[in-house]
Structure formats: structure tokens, C-alpha cells
Amino acid sequence: MKTPNESPKTPKRNPKNKVTANIKLPPVKQGLQQHLIFSTFKTSDAATPRDWYEAASYTVRDHVVERWVKTAESYYKDDPKRVYYLSLEFLIGRMLSNTALNLGLNDELKEGLAALGRDLEATVEIENDAALGNGGLGRLAACFLDSMATMDIPAAGYGIRYEYGMFRQSIENGQQVENPDNWLRYGNIWEFQRPEAHYNIRFYGHVVTYPEDGCQAQRWVDAEHVVAMAYDVPVPGYGTETVNNLRLWAAKAAREFDLRHFNDGNYERAVQERNATESISKILYPNDVCELGKELRLKQQYFFVSASIQDILRRFLTSREIKCQEDWKILPEKIAIQLNDTHPSIGVAEMMYQLVDEHHLPWDFAWGLVGKIFAYTNHTLMPEALETWSVDLFGRLLPRHLEIIYKINHEFLHMVNHHFPGDVELLKRVSIIDETHGRRVRMAHLAVVGSHTVNGVAALHSELLKSTLFADFDRIYPGKMTNVTNGITPRRWLNQANPGLTGLIEKAIGPDFKKDLSHIKKITPLADDADFRKAFAQVKQANKMRLAEKIQKVTGVVLNPDSLFDVQIKRIHEYKRQLLNVLHVVTLYNRIRSGEQGMTPRTVIFGGKAAPGYAMAKQIIRLINDVAAIVNEDVVVGDRLKVVFYPNYEVSAAEILFPGSDLSEQISTAGTEASGTGNMKMALNGALTIGTLDGANVEIKEEVGDENIFIFGLTTPQVAELKANGYNPRDYYNGNAELKQVLDMIASGYFSVEEPGRYQNIVDNLLNNDQYLLLADYASYIKTQDEVGKLYRDRDAWIRMAVLNVANMSKFSSDRAIGDYAKNIWHVSPGNS
Ligand code: B0W
């Protein structure tokens, strides 16, 4: 049997032709010189910094390609079970520095560049971030790729090669302005176009029924075609030869589609249609945690999922002979597919489509396979993030898939009815089709029904999934819901971002922690070693100076590096409560203005993007900037308080911000942040957390100990109780003089004299609604911040706590998270390739 639509012909392999057997690469310095001439066509006199970046990238790339080919060959030969991570987002950031680090080439590259009169840091800075993601969910996918390669798991990522990634944020007159992220303007050395790996993706058309083997079969006809073309990006593991693949799909117009109009002489129309088709992979939607019902977005999802599943099946089929139905049985032993949120959950229907319509397997048999292949990760409980699509739109775009979903739903509801007879309300609640809001397809329900395992991303979140969002499903499928707490890759977030701290730890306990973070625990006794604490403090100070320099360069604000660097960097969202942080800033400002002495000097740094259509989030950015303008200019304040909004927060900025932070703000309303991963990056870089008992903060507290973290605010049950009993924010406003003063100032236009009513809506919202309970948590937050300020003055005690935070971070390595997925969900063993 052969995969339909398959155009790539996988060449027959002859093991004697191994190209990798005798490759010998020149030393890095020589590679740089050669690539400068042969790849960039420049002499060293004429070379620009970009030419040097390119020469360095080509040089490092040669090394990665060598291992990449070997890995691909070994996977082909050994035919292990493969893990496929499907994600609409991969926030991978810069490639050169990370690849050099993972391949162990950093020192050689630094020396090679230095010998040629170039600086490594300046060279890597030329590279644009690959910002193919919004925030935590996309960065998690990138960290997971790093861990899977590092742990020698035969895995691949699949996503979209957006021509424009996450918008670039600039701040003009205090307001967010979105600019296109033309990251591919100068080409991308790290991707390999694979013209031979392309698939037809279909949209629209209709379904016809025809007889087949005495039954009725369906066929999707008259569809429009788009071509998905592969671009491959290497994913090198750390301290291993393994280099996995990230395959990103770009939309290309199908050739015959164009020619029709060209032949009619209607060139313009042909070009327009080509552009419309190719727009599928044009932009990443900047839409973190909020529903977006755009047709193009559904097209994006189906486009990349269909291409990926066709590719997965093509690979499965070319590695074995499939003659009969029986031969398909091993499919779940050979592939595991992880759905990164509901965005790729159409994959459940697409797999059925491929198996039943294209490969002519019986429905029940195919459904049996699907149920062993897919697993789904949920990343949020926010109702506004739960994807649904109108049945009309869905049926127009993917008529056959809608039929398939109806059939899946029919059989699912039948099963539920069998186990819970007569519970009509239950059937309504769990149906994949929501009949109560104008007939919509609930993608989360499709994902749950089609997956063998569903996981949340932190212990609390997974418990809440079971008790709220998926409570019915937990009854229907006992044991299907589980937890895998998120993690971060220590390669990028410690080794690469914080070479100072890495060097210090390595000197103390040796290099093992770099490959296996559990070794970092060995620094625990050094928290009581005065010399170590001193060295630790020096590293932190140097990182703060580096950050202060960068901030001065991008914002013009001069910082006092001896002040407490209090940092909140993440997407701007009401539930993350950047506003609560602002209320604290204004409280401090008022205390300074009222003559209070002896306060700990602070620099409060914010960073993050607001979705362009999220008016309240944009208002919050503006308020931060307006407050900063007043506070930073006030001579009474001096350098006791500074406020900074760091523009265009992205992965490369994060690499400077995390190591330079003293205090990590993780202050979401309890029960709203699924996990958070910035909280882990901060603590690993020696910042102390001020946070609520939310998301992974709960587990960070467990690891570092109650005495090494600042916890405040209502717990999840308390939040629920307060809301149930009728929360009245005005009670808190009237009962707290400092809070009242702060809100009155903001409402009266103190920070917006040219437009006094500018923030009336923010204050009205807090006083009349306050969905995220800022006012209820204010007093506790302020009190805890006061303790933070006090403790910071005892620098030695502070550093001791910071050391203990670093020492206890091993749970939050993405290697641990991937170990959990491998063992409990994918059933693959690390290093079995
Ligand atoms: C991201 C994007 C979109 C969208 O574009 O529509 C919708 C939802 C998300 C999203 N991101 N949902 N949850 C997240 C974040 O995921 C990370 C990684 O698990 C968690 O640490 C965060 O708590 C969660 O908000």
C-alpha cells in the first residue's frame, strides 16, 4: 500500500552508501575563514557583522548537519517508536548560540572568532529570534524538543513556518505599537527547504457516498488544494550525538491551480489566488489565552496537522511492507502523537480520514488505533481559551471531517448513555457538538475523546481539570486524566543565559549538572559557605549590571544596580495581574512622597506583549508607562524607585532578564495560571519568588521550602468561596487607606494629566467587578512585599535563600517532564534509539 497524495519518493537506501562514514570537518577557525569566503563571498576586510554571523552559523551548522544525518540514518535503521509533538507554536529563539552550546562548540567558536578579531556575543546578537509562538505554550514546545534530543528520544516536532512570527512590540507615547516580525528578511541559515517533501492539503468541496465492498463509503471531492512544503530545522541534543528534526510547513499554491488563470490570460487573478493560498502560513496569530474564531486560523490548524499526519504515515509505510489490515496493528507501537493543546486536535479526525477514506481500513479498527496513538495536553482553564468552531464554518471548510466528527460523537454519546443511562444533561455537557451556543464543535472534547491520556501542566492545574473543566470526562474515562508538571531546559535557561552562574556551580560541584540537573542539589551545603555566597552575589551583581546596561540602551532609563530588581515578564493578561504590581508601585511611591525613610530601593521591571485586540491589556501597558514617566522623573524619589517597561519581550531578551532578576513576580489569581514556566526560569537563575499558590508555584514552594519563597494571597478554594459568597471589591477599597489613595490617584488622572479620565475604566472595573480579585489580595501582597524589602537589606540571608532556590530546581528541568511523558504517556524509553 502507498500513501495517497504522496509526492515525495523516499529513495531506496543502500547501507554501503553511507555519506556520514568519513566526514571530517575542519577546525572551527578554519571553518569560519572558509565560510566567510565561500558562503558569504566576502573577504575579512569587507565582511560586515552579519557576514560574520553567517560564517559562524554555517560553520556550526556543518557540525549539526553531520550528526543530524547520522541520527536520521540510525532511526531509519533501528525503526524505533517515534514521538511526534504537534504544536501550532515553537518559540525557539536564536539558534547559533544554542546550537554551539549543545554541540559543545562554544569555546572553540569563541576562540575562533576572537582569533579573527570578532566577538562571540556581538556575533550571536545579529540573529533574529525565531518567534514562532506567543508565550509559555510555544516556549514549552521548544524546551521539550531540546530535552527529547538530549535524552535520545526518537522524536520530531511538527508546526508551521510562519513568514511573520510574533509581532515586534514598540512603545510609542507609552502605548504598545505592533510591527510585523519579518524574521526571514535576510534568509534563515538554520532551515533546510525540502521541496521533495510536500503534500496536498484540501479544503472546501463536498462529500459523495459510493458503494465499496457492499457498504457505503465516503469520498471528499471537488476540494481546493494547497501544497504544504517542508522546511527542516535541526534540534541538537546536549552532550549527545542525537540531532532531531523540527519540520515546519509552508503553504504553496498548487501549480495547476495557478495555470488555469494564466492560460485564460488572467494573470492578476492567478497571482491573487496564489497569494491568498500562501497566506495560510503567513502569520502567527498573537492570541495568547483568548478565543479566536478566525477561518484562517482553522485553516492553519488543518493545514499543518494534515501535512504532518500524511508525513507520519508515509514514514511508517516506507519502513515496512503493509499488505493487509493486520499489518496496521503495530501503528501505535511505532508512533505516539502529542497534541499541544487543542490547536492540533483536528488530528484525531484527520487520522480517521487518512486511515478510513484513504487507506480503506474499517472504521472500528481505525478508531482502535487512534485511541492508542494520541495524547492531549491541556494548558489552560480559562473559558475564553477553549476553542470551538461553528459547525457551519467547519462543514464548509472540511465537510468530510465534520461527518467524521459527527460519527465519533455519535458513538461516544452512545457509550456514555450506556454507562450513565438517561442522563441527558450529561450527554449535552460532554457532546463534541455544543448545541447550546448555536452549534459549535468543541475541540477540547474531540481531543479528550480521541486521546488515551489527557494531562494538565502542573499538579494543581491537573486537579482542577479533573474537578472542573473535565469533571464529566473524569467520570466517563477514569484514569485518563493525569499530570505532567512543566519544565524548562537548563541548557538555554542556565548554561546559555547565565554563564557566570554555570561556571560558579561547575567549579563547586563539577559539570554533571549540565546534562542532568538533579546534580545541582549538591550545591545545597554551599548556601552556608560564606565564600560561595560572596561569589554567588558577585555573579548576580554582574548579571544585573549587564541587564541595567541593556535597559539603558533600549529605554534610556538609568538604573541603580544595587536596588532590588523586581521583575514581572510574561504576556500581559488581567489574570496574571500586572495591575496588582502597579498598585504596589504606586503604594511605594506614595510612601516615599509622604516622607517615609529607610525603604529598600527597588527597580520594578515589566515586560510582555498584549494581544492587539485585547484593549484592557493594552491599557495596562499604557498605565505602567505613565506611572514610570511620573515616578522616574520625580526628584523626591531619586533612585529609590524606578519603573521600567522593557519593550518587545522575547526569548533573547528573557535570556538577559532572568539572570538579572532578584525578585520573581508570579502573582496570578490562585486557580488561573495553569503552570507558568517563567517562575522556574527565575528561580533557576537565583531570583526569589513572590507568588500566589497557583500553577507550578505550589510545587516550587514544595521544592525550595516554605522559608525560601514569599507566598501571599487567597488560595484556590478561598477564591471560589469568596466569589460564591458575593465578592464586593468596594469593601476592600473602603477598608484600606493606602489602596484607596492609590486607586483615587489613578482614577483622578494623576498619571495622565493630559487626559485625566484615561484610566477611569480600569478603576471602575476594579471597584465594580474585579474578576481576578486584585483588591482582595492587595493587603496581603503589600505586606509580603514589605517583608521582601526588609529581607533584601540582609543581603547575606537573601543570597542564602537564592542559593537554596537554585539548588532545589531539578524537578523543573524539562528532562524530568519529558521523562514523565516518555514513561507514562508515550511508552518510549530514553536512549532507546
Ligand atoms: C496560547 C495560545 C492560544 C491561542 O493562540 O489561541 C491559546 C492559548 C494559549 C495558552 N498558553 N494556553 N495556556 C498557555 C500557557 O501554557 C504554558 C505552558 O504550559 C503554561 O505555563 C501557562 O500557565 C499557560 O498560560
**Per-residue pLDDT tens over the stretch 440-469:** 999 999 999 999 999 999 999 999 999 999
pLDDT at 21: 54
Q: Where are the domains of the chain?
A: 29-78+95-128, 490-789+797-818
Name beta bridge partners: 420.
none
What is the tens place of the pLDDT at every residue in 498-542?
999 999 999 999 999 999 999 999 999 999 999 999 999 999 999
Helix (H, G, I), strand (E, B) or coil at 623: helix
What is the tens place of the pLDDT at every residue in 815-831?
999 999 999 999 998 88
Mutate to test the pocket of ligand 1, among 90, 132, 137 (most ligand atoms within 8 A of CB): 137
* CATH numeric code, 490-789+797-818: 3.40.50.2000
Position 68 confidence tier, pLDDT thresholds 50, 70, 90: very high
Q: Whose CA is nearest to atom 3 of ligand 1?
A: 288
Name beta bridge partners: 690.
665, 710
Which entry of 35, 61, 139, 379 is annotated as an active-site residue?
Answer: 379
570 is catalytic: yes
DSSP character at residue 359: T
pLDDT at 14: 46
Name beta bridge partners: 454.
376, 481
Q: Span 627-653, mean pLDDT?
A: 98
Three cell numbers written together for 308 = 504532518
Q: What percent of the chain has pLDDT over 90?
A: 91
- 386 C-alpha vs ligand 1 centroid, how far in Å? 11
Q: Whose CA is nearest to atom 8 of ligand 1?
A: 289
Mutate to test the pocket of ligand 1, among 380, 457, 694, 700 (most ligand atoms within 8 A of CB): 380
Can you tell me which atom of ligand 1 is nearest the CA of 486?
19
Spatial distance between the Cα atoms of 721 and 711, rounded to a whole number of angstroms: 19
Does the pLDDT at position 694 exceed 50? Answer: yes
Mutate to test the pocket of ligand 1, among 144, 379, 387, 681 (most ligand atoms within 8 A of CB): 379
- 290 C-alpha vs ligand 1 centroid, how far in Å? 9
521 is catalytic: no
Q: Span 74-79, mean pLDDT?
A: 95
Q: Whose CA is nearest to atom 16 of ligand 1?
A: 137
Backbone angles phi and psi of 597, in degrees to 5: -110, 165
Which entry of 277, 677, 689, 784 is annotated as an active-site residue?
Answer: 677
Q: Lowest mean pLDDT of 15-19, 168-172, 419-423, 700-704, name the range.
A: 15-19
Which entry of 540, 571, 618, 622 is annotated as an active-site residue?
Answer: 571
Count of Cβ atoms closer than 10 Å to residue 493 Cβ: 28
Position 1 confidence tier, pLDDT thresholds 50, 70, 90: very low
Can you tell me which atom of ligand 1 is nearest the CA of 285?
5
Which entry of 544, 576, 602, 618 is annotated as an active-site residue?
Answer: 576
DSSP string, 549-587: HHHHHHH-----TTSEEEEEES---GGGTHHHHHHHHHH
Can you tell me which atom of ligand 1 is nearest the CA of 457?
19
| Bridge-based pairing state of the strands 90-93 and 130-132 | antiparallel
379 is catalytic: yes
Spatial contact of 776 and 726, defined as CB atoms under 8 Å apart? no
What is the tens place of the pLDDT at every residue in 648-693?
999 999 999 999 999 999 999 999 999 999 999 999 999 999 999 9
Q: Whose CA is nearest to atom 10 of ligand 1?
A: 289
What is the tens place of the pLDDT at every residue in 234-285?
999 999 999 999 999 999 998 655 566 667 777 777 778 778 888 999 999 9
Residues within 6 Å of ligand 1 by CB:
134-137, 140, 285, 287-289, 292, 379-380, 385, 457, 486, 673-677, 695
pLDDT at 232: 98
Three cell numbers written together for 86 = 504537534
pLDDT at 328: 98
Please report, for residues 67, 147, 244, 623, the alpha-carbon distance to residue 240 in angstroms, rounded to integers and kept in the order given: 9, 11, 11, 48
Q: Give the containing element (helix H, strand E) for 86.
A: strand 82-86
What is the tens place of the pLDDT at every residue in 284-341?
999 888 888 899 999 999 999 999 999 999 999 998 999 999 999 999 999 999 999 9
Mutate to test the pocket of ligand 1, among 288, 387, 455, 483 (most ligand atoms within 8 A of CB): 288
Burial environment of residue 176 by CB neighbours within 10 A (0 to 12, 13 to 18, 19 or more): buried
Can you tell me which atom of ligand 1 is nearest the CA of 695?
23
Mutate to test the pocket of ligand 1, among 289, 460, 570 (most ligand atoms within 8 A of CB): 289
DSSP character at residue 135: S
Three cell numbers written together for 136 = 509559555
Three cell numbers written together for 682 = 527565575
Please report, for residues 541, 569, 637, 666, 796, the alpha-carbon distance to residue 566 in angstroms, rounded to integers and kept in the order given: 14, 10, 17, 11, 18
Please report, for residues 628, 666, 700, the alpha-carbon distance to residue 803 in angstroms, rounded to integers and kept in the order given: 31, 19, 14
- 284 C-alpha vs ligand 1 centroid, how far in Å? 14
- 91 C-alpha vs ligand 1 centroid, how far in Å? 12
Name beta bridge partners: 664.
567, 689
Can you tell me which atom of ligand 1 is nearest the CA of 135?
11
Which entry of 35, 540, 544, 681 is annotated as an active-site residue?
Answer: 681
What is the tens place of the pLDDT at every residue in 174-190?
999 999 999 999 999 99
Can you tell me which atom of ligand 1 is nearest the CA of 287?
5
- 613 C-alpha vs ligand 1 centroid, how far in Å? 17
pLDDT at 215: 84
pLDDT at 8: 36
- 639 C-alpha vs ligand 1 centroid, how far in Å? 36
pLDDT at 268: 78
pLDDT at 625: 98
Q: Which candidate, 145, 165, 161, places its Cα nearest to that of 153?
A: 145
Q: Whose CA is nearest to atom 2 of ligand 1?
A: 288
What is the tens place of the pLDDT at every residue in 748-803?
999 999 999 999 999 999 999 999 999 999 999 999 999 999 999 999 999 999 99
DSSP string, 51-78: HHHHHHHHHHHHHHHHHHHHHHHHHHHH
Spatial contact of 610 and 620, defined as CB atoms under 8 Å apart? yes
Q: Whose CA is nearest to atom 13 of ligand 1?
A: 379
Rounded to 5°, angle at Cα 576 from 637 and 293: 135
Q: Whose CA is nearest to atom 5 of ligand 1?
A: 287
Can you tell me which atom of ligand 1 is nearest the CA of 379?
13
428 is catalytic: no
The mean of the pLDDT values for the chain is 95
- 675 C-alpha vs ligand 1 centroid, how far in Å? 9
Q: Span 586-603, mean pLDDT?
A: 98
- 571 C-alpha vs ligand 1 centroid, how far in Å? 10
- 380 C-alpha vs ligand 1 centroid, how far in Å? 6
Which entry of 35, 61, 401, 570 is annotated as an active-site residue?
Answer: 570
pLDDT at 289: 84
DSSP string, 155-173: EEEEEE--SB-SPEEEEET
- 298 C-alpha vs ligand 1 centroid, how far in Å? 17
pLDDT at 261: 65
- 378 C-alpha vs ligand 1 centroid, how far in Å? 9
